[in-house]
Structure 1
């Protein structure tokens, strides 16, 4: 049985929240540093261990790998900047109460003749031990980062850095074959023969990678700053309304169109500014486009997804016990949010059980979103009542949550919006609604109004509220309230129930149960 939906006797359909377990809470705050060819980045993860929040995230562009192909050494200026960044990060970690930082260095440090000297300087100055990893290990960690957000996924993970590009296959939560190459944009700048020589080099390298990796026509997961920059340009070209990179989808045709769009754009500075890309990154984007076009042409993926999770998230995943890895990141994050911010933690489980009869025929992926909505239904109660509905929508659609497609973000956001208001028209989010079809909008509205009514029966997390009985063919909704819930069924609750019935296009009757 799929680990995401395996029933547990102590937690129902989605299991018991593991973030309450001491072994999971031990991962509550974890600091990792990635010393790359372009940048040095510190990320401190905090929150539910399976789906952590980013407590702190800082990147310093150092360009350690600039000129490496010509000199064989780390860029001197970049080396100085990187050492300064690591001194800063070590001091920040002390201030945050972190017992340790996990530091890894990738292509630039492993390829440079003075890479070991640099690591020794870091350890002498900061006390930090830098673990230099080879390309295959880098590929494995990046793939694990993808699995943090997409447990059980299958496909090909492609991580591009400044000096290298790695491939790894994933299937059923396991990382398989892995390969590395020199197709990072900084390395490509030094290939002789101009664009013609570069094209030949990319093609030959990609053919070697294909021979090693075999046929990979499932989903392609793109990891790395250069891919994310291309994604931002694709969003800009399409006028895409939801500016969330994680789980953004591109087609092979879109990749080709965006590459042509970038090549034809004479004013890269204006394009960079419009898309929110740094000048250092933008300089590498045209070269990364050449690689991506050839990658897609070679491996012919059926689907392309952008992953904001990569090597740093893979380093966190490395520290997780398997039982934690197997859990649903969305549900765990929502449980943590409820425990931290809801007025009555635990009521979300009761609310889900109460409204679930309205969605008995819903497929498992939809029930998962319904569960998430119930857990989140009260976490924004501190927002001003006039803006609470919009705050809920904004939080759901833009929050750093794993395991959510963009369409699922909109569904979840609309459901939570309708938790606080009957109408969705008149907000400044309306252009986002078109990312889902009309039927899905109505389903989100029904869910939101069901939660809106259920919240009126708020007693305690173990209360006996009663039950819904829903007859979709007859369009009849029956509410059977427990005796102790009847006093809560006042005028406002009745109005909310009638609003729910209207969205279902149903007649409603209310009865009192004997017990």
Structure 2
């Protein structure tokens, strides 16, 4: 059925809740508190703690929440509410999902939380849970096109995505805690296949991407990273081709708990659920036949924050929004970034839109390491950008952005300290990052990062060369350092160079 439009309409008419914004997510397997801070478009988790309670353990047999899980969950929720209050959280939402929604004693459990904490609890319907999880994906991947799958402990939510538009959705009882006691591998596989095959609208999305959300599915990505010795352990937009994802999930699905205990990267507390999570993903892959699996670090909790945004705020580029936030916090002159990008743009006027976007992000971040000791600015900025909680950026783009800023400070992309970025890039991408970095290095040297100067200077191609034009009023800014930076850029571009200073 179609996703309800009421949530979207209500969200767009709300006044955005002031940050920090907190969510206590009472799931089938875990209870988690996340407190979000600035920036508003892509909130950063100021605090993130979970307790694996297993509320939904045995639900399919007993119909009730697990007694020990209930005790642990109540302890965690009481703690989380106290912490949120001490953090001056302006808006705290307690939301419960599949296990509480379906359990015979779910209402009793909710009433106990409300008595203990004085806070209201919102039990999400399956459709609401699916919608907010899809919003979470869109918060960090706004051009997502395909099917979002959010595997929780008790259920699997599937939603079709086409850019910012949410389409059909369904909630299936396929969480690892729900299917754990159905029988042997063959019985579980048949049950999963039956449920997935009954979702007719999935057939329309064959060949698109599967966006994977949920702790168990993210654990699959972590294990894959460990097995492949990935140089960058960041879940968001970590992508596997369908064939590789299918082979890897088949391998994980047939492992015993003892076998998984010996596998690098498997979290100890995921050893029971991981084979079942892998089995569900593999069966979805077999039916949906997506081109790839894109893992999303954002899900339901981020979706609740996204729902508070206006349509105008949602339309912002999450990468550039976060870069501007970093620049406001860390740069000497935050407004200089757009001016720097306009200054170097004539040399890169053939850049496709995706490259121009990374170039602009780099220009915005070009001054963010100024507080660091000069000998370590390049290395420090490389690490910060490689590991920053950006949205809407592929791993090679992240590495290219980091290497660009490294070059802006160090003057070369070939320094051994930049090796963590090299490993994610090909030779052409490394060359591009060096050229952009050297162009920004020239702009920063000429202007010292002060707004207004570069707007009156020009850096442009001229036949087989490049020309830096400095107006008479800024003639004194020319000097040996500017000459060297221009020469280094020209060499990287394989062009001649000239610096022209206007006469008074």
Q: How does 1:428-467 map to 2 (within 5 A)?
A: 428-430=417-419, 432-456=421-445, 457-458=447-448, 460-463=450-453, 464-467=455-458
Pair 1:362 & 2:351 matched: yes
Corresponding residue SS for 1:461 = coil
The one of 293, 297, 302 aligned to 1:308: 297
Distance 1:289 1:47 in 2: 34
Secondary structure of 1:222's aligned partner = strand
**Mapping of residues 149-188 of structure 1, within 5 Å:** 149-188=140-179
Between stretches 65-74 and 316-325, larger displacement belongs to: 65-74
Of residues 112, 115, 130, the one that matches 1:121 is: 112
How do 1:159-238 residues align onto structure 2 when only pairs under 5 Å count?
A: 159-192=150-183, 194-209=184-199, 211-217=200-206, 218-238=208-228
Mapped contact 1:37–1:108 kept (Cα < 8 A): yes
1:259 alignment partner in structure 2: 249
| 4+ residue runs over 4 A deviation | none
| Mapped contact 1:466–1:513 kept (Cα < 8 A) | no
Q: Any gaps of 5 or more consecutive residues in structure 1?
A: 1-21
Per the alignment, in what secondary structure is the counterpart of residue 215 of structure 1? helix
**Aligned-residue RMSD, C-alpha:** 1.8
Superposition map of 1:46-85 within 5 A: 46-85=37-76
3-state SS in 2 of match to 1:477: strand
SS at match of 1:183: coil
Q: 1:385 to 1:282 in 2, by over 3 A?
A: farther
Q: Are 2:480 and 1:488 aligned? A: no
SS of residue in 1 equivalent to 2:410? coil
Paired with 1:423 and 1:240, the residues of 2 have a C-alpha distance of: 24
Residue of 91, 113, 117 corresponding to 1:100: 91
Deviates more, 1:451-460 or 1:394-403: 451-460
- Which residue does 1:4 correspond to in 2? none
Equivalent residue of 1:387, what SS? helix
SS of 2:35 mapped into structure 1: strand
CA distance in 2, matches of 1:351, 1:156: 39
Q: In 1, are the aligned partners of 2:15 and 2:308 still within 8 Å (CA)? A: no
CA distance 1:417–1:177, change in 2 (3 Å): same
- Please show how residues 16-55 of structure 1 align to structure 2 within 5 Å: 26-55=17-46
Q: Is the 8 A contact 2:26 2:96 kept in 1?
A: yes
Answer whether contact 1:370 1:447 (CA < 8 A) is retained.
yes
The answer on whether the counterparts of 2:139 and 2:306 sit within 8 Å (CA) in structure 1 is: yes
The match for 1:280 among 257, 261, 269 is 269
Aligned to 1:269: 261
Per the TM alignment, residue 59 of structure 1 is displaced from its structure 2 partner at its CA by: 1.0
TM-aligned CA distance change 1:353 to 1:513, over 3 Å = farther
Q: Which moved more, 1:247-256 or 1:430-439?
A: 430-439
Indicate if the aligned counterparts of 1:179 and 1:212 stay in contact, CA closer than 8 A: no
> Residue 411 of structure 2 aligns with which residue?
422
Q: TM-score, normalised by structure 1?
A: 0.91
Select 1:137's aligned residue among 128, 131, 136: 128
Counterpart Cα distance in 1 of 2:210 and 2:250: 20
CA contact 1:178–1:213 (8 Å) conserved in 2: no
Which residue of the partner structure matches residue 492 of structure 2?
Answer: 503
**Alignment partners' CA distance in 1, 2:18 and 2:293:** 31
- Taking the aligned partners of 1:418 and 1:153, their CA distance within structure 2 comes to 31
The answer to whether the 8 Å contact 1:390/1:427 transfers is no
Tell me how far 1:27 sits from its aligned partner. 3.8
Q: Distance in 2 between matches of 1:33 and 1:427?
A: 43
CA change 1:426–1:476 in 2 (3 A) is closer
Contact 1:233 1:258 in 2 (8 A): no
User: For this pair of structures, how many residues does the alignment match?
Assistant: 486
Quote how far apart the aligned CAs of 1:23 are. 6.5
* Structure 2 unmatched ranges of 5 or more: 1-13
- Is the 1:30–1:45 Cα contact (8 Å) retained in structure 2? yes
How far did residue 425 of structure 1 move? 3.3
CA shift at 1:428, angstroms? Answer: 4.8
How far off its partner does 1:327 sit?
0.7
Q: Quote how far apart the aligned CAs of 1:315 are.
A: 0.3
Contact 1:350–1:461 (CA under 8 A) maintained in structure 2 = yes
The 5-angstrom pairing of residues 240-255 of structure 1 reads: 240-255=230-245
